[in-house]
């Protein structure tokens, strides 16, 4: 419960701001609201809910100091994300001021933004991008009443993807993964939220061709979303055999079985690390993309891939690590002060995959317009400030150096790739001019040869043409 001495300034003197005041006034011993901030000059000095409009966003520092404000609530659910992000940046420069937000949920059916309860500011609020608008008709046309298979369904993207597919009323949703606990969790969640959907679960290894053949024989999926992969760069540098077997051979098996059973669409989840790869993981995902493109050239199944950057808050990613380090009092460890990455929310990633599947004609690698890359150091600083502390004062920063296989910066499109617009203005299709399918077939034959040693030096030699 808030202390009565908490003094609140509300940014946004519209309906949402009024709702925020009413919500606070209904609290027993709630905080004291001292007034509003609004950029509309016509509202200046007016009273809303009996409280004055004290100035515009540029006045926030002055008003905060004058009125001893220690909490700011941003109540602009319909404002463009870039505008909200700008206001947060003004607020986070203030010392000892907590920032909260009354966000909005985008209603896909009505196109309206509905205010949701006040919460702490989250990192996705800082991305400054509009929600990905969707062509619901095209999505429903290829998912409704279909048997849809999701591999890696227990992962961060796989779980969100499965949830969104369930919203499109598939005929059956098949959740597949190697980890029984994660599959159990997503199954339990979906059966509670979508009790009317026919949900099947399978614990299986995508590298097992016989098992995959039997599964496809059992379910006959029309659409496959292939999210199963090893993604951790440092681990795959140390254990390249697993990266090759899972990301390359597993994808090869899935593509061939999907072709054999005449699936309509197959969508591979890829990564920006597949562009000019410097790591084993990146090289294996580049090869996986090439497998999908090659298969599209010889199959009635429409094969495509979707390439995106880092997922905010996904398991094993930098955000949960920073949060644990901050909770423990620091230090926060950063590999390099200039390292940047593209970030997106898990919901953006899932919707990109589904929308790309709707517009795919086969052979494309899709990328989302993700704005500017984010500096990891800045991300750490923002996260520390959102936790009410000061970087390098309350929480120390320690630089650990770039790990094997990592790059300072990532790109979404390679020099050898041609970018074309799609009918969705935020999604582009990328086509590579370098399609050495003969070399790819030799690589696959080598990996499937029982005599191949899988020694680390042999694997790296095999991957060398795909690196850099």
Amino acid 2: pLDDT: 44
Residue 461 lies in a domain: no
Crossing angle between the packed helical segments 280-296 and 250-260, to the nearest 10 degrees: 10
Do 383 and 411 share a structural domain?
yes
CATH code where residue 379 lies: 3.40.50.720
The pLDDT tens digits along the chain (468 residues) read 344 578 999 999 988 888 888 888 888 777 899 999 999 989 988 999 999 999 999 999 999 999 999 889 998 887 877 788 888 888 877 877 888 888 765 444 444 445 566 777 666 666 666 655 566 676 778 899 999 999 999 998 899 999 999 988 999 999 999 999 999 999 999 999 999 999 999 999 999 999 999 999 999 999 999 999 999 899 999 999 999 999 999 999 999 999 999 999 999 999 989 999 999 999 999 999 999 999 999 999 999 999 987 777 666 677 778 888 888 888 999 999 998 887 777 777 888 889 888 999 999 999 887 777 888 888 888 888 777 778 888 889 999 988 888 888 887 788 888 889 888 877 889 888 767 789 999 999 999 999 999 999 999 999 999 887
Do 252 and 147 share a structural domain?
yes
C-alpha count within 13 angstroms, C-beta hemisphere, residue 15: 9
Two structure tokens written together for 394? 């309350």
Query: Range of 384's domain?
Result: 136-448
Two structure tokens written together for 462? 């095999």
Residue 330 lies in a domain: yes
Examine the residue annotation and report whether 273 is marked as an active-site residue of this protein: yes
Measured at the alpha carbon of residue 449, what is the angle toward residues 445 and 452, in degrees to the nearest 5? 115
Domain boundary among 91, 121, 151: 121
CA 299 – CA 406 distance, rounded (Å): 35
Do 150 and 219 share a structural domain?
yes
Do 305 and 267 share a structural domain?
yes
* Structural domain total, the chain: 2
Q: Is the dihedral of CA 345, 83, 9, 374 positive or negative?
A: positive
DSSP letter for 331, please: P
Radius of gyration of the chain (CA): 25
Residue 96: phi, psi to the nearest 5? 55, 35
Domain boundary among 83, 98, 121: 121
Two structure tokens written together for 350? 């899932």
CA 249 – CA 401 distance, rounded (Å): 32
3-state SS assignment for residue 277? coil
- Check: CB of residue 406 under 8 Å from CB of residue 361: no
Of the candidates 188, 143, 184, 179, which has an alpha carbon nearest to the alpha carbon of residue 351? 143
Neighbour count for residue 17 (Cβ, 10 Å): 26
From the list 231, 245, 273, 407, the catalytic residue is 273
Amino acid 112: pLDDT: 47
Of the candidates 174, 196, 204, which has an alpha carbon nearest to the alpha carbon of residue 186? 174
Residue 464 lies in a domain: no
- Check: CB of residue 430 under 8 Å from CB of residue 362: no
Query: Which of 105-125 are b and which e, b meaning 16 or more Cβ less than 10 Å from the residue's Cβ?
Result: ebeeeeeebebeebeebbbbb
Residue 106: phi, psi to the nearest 5? -80, 120
Do 247 and 378 share a structural domain?
yes
Amino acid 45: pLDDT: 85
Residue 261 lies in a domain: yes
């Amino acid at each position: 419960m808030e202390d009565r001495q908490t003094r609140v300034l509300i940014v946004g003197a519209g309906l949402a701001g009024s709702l925020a005041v009413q919500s606070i006034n209904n609290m027993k011993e709630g905080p004291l609201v001292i007034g509003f901030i609004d950029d509309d000059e016509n509202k200046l000095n007016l009273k809303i809910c009996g409280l004055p409009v004290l100035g515009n966003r540029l006045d926030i520092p002055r008003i905060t100091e004058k009125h001893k404000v220690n909490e700011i609530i941003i109540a602009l659910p319909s404002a463009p994300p870039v505008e909200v992000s700008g206001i947060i940046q003004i607020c986070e420069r203030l010392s000892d001021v907590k920032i909260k937000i009354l966000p909005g949920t985008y209603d896909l059916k009505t196109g309206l933004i509905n205010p949701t309860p006040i919460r702490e500011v989250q990192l996705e609020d800082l991305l400054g991008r509009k929600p990905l608008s969707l062509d619901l008709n095209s999505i429903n046309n290829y998912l409704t009443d279909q048997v849809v298979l999701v591999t890696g369904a227990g992962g961060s993207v796989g779980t969100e993807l499965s949830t969104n597919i369930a919203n499109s009323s598939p005929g059956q949703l098949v959740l597949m993964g190697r980890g029984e606990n994660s599959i159990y969790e997503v199954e339990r969640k979906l059966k509670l939220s979508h009790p009317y959907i026919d949900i099947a679960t399978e614990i299986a290894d995508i590298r097992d061709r016989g098992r995959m053949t039997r599964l496809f024989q059992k379910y006959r999926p029309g659409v496959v979303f292939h999210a199963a992969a090893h993604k951790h760069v440092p681990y795959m540098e140390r254990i390249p055999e697993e990266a090759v077997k899972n990301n390359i051979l597993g994808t090869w098996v899935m593509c061939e079985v999907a072709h054999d059973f005449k699936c309509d669409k197959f969508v591979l989840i890829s990564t920006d690390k597949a562009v000019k790869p410097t790591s084993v993981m990146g090289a294996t995902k580049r090869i996986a993309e090439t497998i999908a493109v090659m298969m599209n050239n010889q199959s009635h199944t429409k094969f495509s891939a979707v390439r995106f950057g880092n997922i905010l808050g996904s398991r094993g990613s930098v955000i949960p690590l920073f949060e644990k380090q901050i909770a423990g009092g620091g230090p926060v460890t950063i590999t390099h002060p200039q390292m940047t990455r593209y970030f997106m929310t898990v919901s953006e990633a899932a919707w990109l995959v589904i929308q790309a599947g709707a517009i795919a004609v086969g052979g494309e690698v899709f990328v989302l317009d993700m704005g500017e890359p984010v500096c990891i150091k800045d991300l750490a600083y923002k996260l520390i400030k959102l936790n009410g502390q000061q970087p390098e004062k309350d929480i120390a920063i320690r630089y650990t150096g770039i790990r094997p296989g990592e790059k300072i910066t990532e790109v979404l499109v390679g020099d050898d790739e041609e970018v074309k617009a799609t009918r969705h203005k935020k999604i582009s299709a990328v086509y590579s001019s370098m399609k050495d399918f003969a070399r790819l077939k030799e690589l696959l034959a080598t990996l499937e040869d029982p005599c191949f040693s899988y020694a680390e030096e042999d694997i790296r030699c095999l991957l060398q043409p795909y690196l850099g």
